[in-house]
Amino acid sequence: MQKQITSLILAFVLAAVLSSCARQASGQKGVMIIPKEDQQEVDVLMDGQPFTSYIFDSKYDVLKKPVLYPLRSPSGVVITRGYPLEPKAGERTDHPHHIGLWFNYGNVDGLDFWNNSSAIPAERAPHMGHIVHRAITETKSGEDSGVLGVSMDWNTHDNKTLMKEDARYVFHEGENSRAIDYIVTLTALDKTVQLHDNKEGVLGIRVTRALELPTKRPIKLTGPDGKPMEVPVLDNEGVTGDYLSSEGATGEDVWGTRGRWVELTGVVEGQPVTLAILDHPDNVGFPTYWHARPYGLFAANPLGQAVFSNGKKQLNYELPAGKSVTFRYRILILSGKATADQMEQEYQDWIHVTS
């Protein structure tokens, strides 16, 4: 009798486990991390719906580093620019290296990793660096969060490796929120690596047209045929973005200031959205400077101090041979427009858990 009861209990537990796995595999619940190495990507699903994908640098010729692309809000609207991978009518056609969410820098031992793309003229190529995906080191799906770990190499034009990168993305799902904890560890190899002060860095997101700040400047946009076209007088209909920093700066005045966090709010496809980058107190150069532009580049740069301070401060960060440095950020996407108090509470909750 005891053996029968034990067998029944084991059968019940096994059925429950299999049922849970089946629900997750079908995408009905939780955060799913789905590697597709033959397609050079890893898909991230939340409750069965696409949130983002980690895309290897080799998937598209224009890419010279891995990226997360696209990013979606809790309601499912895409908040990152499509160009140049998936151009959409009315989008800007500048800076083809601005794709989704990425981490790199504009001056590493004199090489520019930030601006590199297939659009770079051949004569400039020797002055550019590129980041190469090496391996997926961790995948973990879960009910409320999922984890993706990857390794990369920061290489010169002739493929000599200057630094190793280990990146860990922790994807969190809430009722009206999405969050990415982005932890990057850089390790110098056999010689000291110099990260000279430069405005191009380090954590960047290129947002959709609706989250740009309204402007009257002439620009190039993607036309109905998918090709760039000159627009002398800009139509700002549906362009709703505005920045707010932890220090109270707003709009274009956020650029070049320091702060613990910055949020970008707006309305995308009729849905109010808040996109925020949170800087961790343990990061080099905390609180970071913000390379936040009205045309849709939203970036945190703790390393470009001489540029943003007009020469009053200088960092020129050195990473000694064999040593490592870690950068930790949270990218937060909320339904609705968050107030300063709400964002500060989000920030305090995050650093309390991670400190």
State how far the Cα of 169 lies from the Cα of 330, in Å rounded to an integer: 10
DSSP-derived 3-state class of residue 131: strand
CATH class of 32-354: mainly beta
* Segment 141-196, tens digit of pLDDT: 999 999 999 999 999 999 999 999 999 999 999 999 999 999 999 999 999 999 99
State how far the Cα of 252 lies from the Cα of 44, in Å rounded to an integer: 33
249 contacts: CB under 8 Å, gap ≥ 6: 243, 257, 259
Sign, Cα dihedral of 28, 33, 36, 42 = positive
Model pLDDT, residue 233: 66
Once rounded to an integer, what is the mean pLDDT over residues 329-346? 98
State how far the Cα of 44 lies from the Cα of 58, in Å rounded to an integer: 19
CB atoms inside a 10 Å sphere around CB 167: 21
DSSP-derived 3-state class of residue 265: strand
Band (227; pLDDT cuts 50, 70, 90): confident
Amino acid at 165: E
Model pLDDT, residue 206: 98
CB atoms inside a 10 Å sphere around CB 308: 22
Residue 187 CB burial class (10 angstroms; 0-12, 13-18, ≥19): middle
Max Cα–Cα distance, the chain, nearest Å = 85
Residue 322 CB burial class (10 angstroms; 0-12, 13-18, ≥19): exposed
Model pLDDT, residue 90: 87
CB atoms inside a 10 Å sphere around CB 156: 17
CA distances from 98 to 67, 136, 215, 274 (A): 10, 23, 20, 20
pLDDT > 70: percent of the chain: 90
Q: Give the residue extent of every domain in the chain.
A: 32-354
Model pLDDT, residue 29: 83
Once rounded to an integer, what is the mean pLDDT over residues 248-269? 98
Once rounded to an integer, what is the mean pLDDT over residues 83-95? 92
